[in-house]
């Protein structure tokens, strides 16, 4: 394990730059994206693209490992769990960097055999870090955390590459469940880097900023 510890602001800037470079981020105000919730927005991020870019992948996984070591502690964890499905490769790469066992958590029991939600070995004494690609409002994390805790292990931290950072209730929702969120960058970091690069036209960037400032109002105005 050989990690450096850049300032969080530099990690955020470089992560945003990397996501833009590999086209994991798209802004489109003219034809907004439809999210899983059915609501629309002018922003889209696909962190799964990271796995196809070795230099970006290695850099961001170094950043994620360094972030949790700095923020949670060097001996805080004994097990790294990836959330099905996008969190599995990132969980494996963070576990490798921290020289820790890796497991993964299913969204629901597989329905046969042991009917398990946890794959791999997880012991009651384990202190587990849940790794995922991103979080919006934190809802999916709670189900994974509960599955981990049902084994008797503890899970008080989750780490993601991308945190939307536009729904103020997210961190409190996780905190109320006893979970602390660690992340590399947010939409605000991506917007700042997109402006610095002039990656999109001014009208699009203005509309994106309007959405990020009040997503619920923007969605009401753009059903």
pLDDT of residue 90: 98
pLDDT of residue 1: 66
Q: Does any domain span residue 108?
A: yes
Residue 43 counted as an annotated binding residue: no
**Average pLDDT of the residues in 80-109:** 96
pLDDT of residue 37: 67
The phi, psi pair for 121, rounded to 5°, reads -100, 125
Q: What is the band of 115 on the pLDDT scale with cuts at 50, 70, 90?
A: low
Inter-residue contact 47 to 24 (CB < 8 Å)? yes
Say how far apart CA 90 and CA 51 lie, in whole Å: 8
What's 147's domain CATH number? Answer: 3.40.50.2020
Residue 139 counted as an annotated binding residue: yes
**Average pLDDT of the residues in 193-210:** 96
Q: Does any domain span residue 168?
A: yes
Q: Does any domain span residue 157?
A: yes
Residue 137 counted as an annotated binding residue: yes
Q: Does any domain span residue 82?
A: yes
The pLDDT tens digits of the residues spanning 4-41 come to: 899 999 999 999 999 999 999 999 989 999 887 677 89
The pLDDT tens digits of the residues spanning 43-92 come to: 999 999 999 999 999 999 999 999 999 999 999 999 999 999 999 999 99
**Per this entry, what is the length of the chain?**
223
Cis previous bond, 129, omega within 30: no
Residue 152 counted as an annotated binding residue: no
Q: What's the structural domain count of the chain?
A: 1
Least confident of 61-70, 106-115, 133-142: 106-115
Residue 136 counted as an annotated binding residue: yes
**Average pLDDT of the residues in 157-166:** 96
Residue 15 counted as an annotated binding residue: no
Q: Does any domain span residue 3?
A: no
Inter-residue contact 190 to 161 (CB < 8 Å)? no
């Amino acid at each position: 394990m050989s990690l450096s510890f850049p300032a969080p602001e530099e990690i955020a800037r470089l992560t945003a730059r990397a996501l833009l470079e590999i086209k994991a981020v798209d802004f489109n105000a003219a034809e907004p994206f439809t999210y899983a919730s059915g609501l629309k927005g002018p922003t889209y991020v696909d962190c799964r693209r990271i796995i196809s870019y070795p230099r970006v992948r290695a850099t961001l996984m170094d950043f994620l490992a360094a972030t949790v070591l700095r923020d949670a502690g060097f001996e805080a964890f004994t097990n790294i769990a990836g959330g099905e499905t996008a969190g599995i490769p990132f969980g494996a790469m963070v576990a490798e960097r921290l020289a820790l066992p890796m497991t993964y958590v299913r969204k629901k029991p597989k329905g046969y055999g042991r009917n398990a939600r946890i794959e791999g070995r997880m012991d009651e004494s384990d202190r587990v870090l849940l790794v995922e690609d991103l979080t919006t409002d934190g809802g999916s994390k709670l189900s994974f955390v509960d599955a981990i805790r049902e084994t008797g292990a503890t899970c008080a931290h989750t780490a993601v590459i991308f945190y939307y950072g536009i729904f103020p209730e997210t961190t409190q929702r996780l905190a109320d469940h006893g979970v602390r969120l660690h992340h590399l960058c947010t939409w605000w970091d991506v917007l700042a880097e997109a402006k610095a690069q002039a990656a999109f036209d001014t009208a699009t960037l203005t509309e994106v900023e309007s959405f990020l400032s009040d997503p619920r109002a923007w969605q009401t105005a753009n059903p």
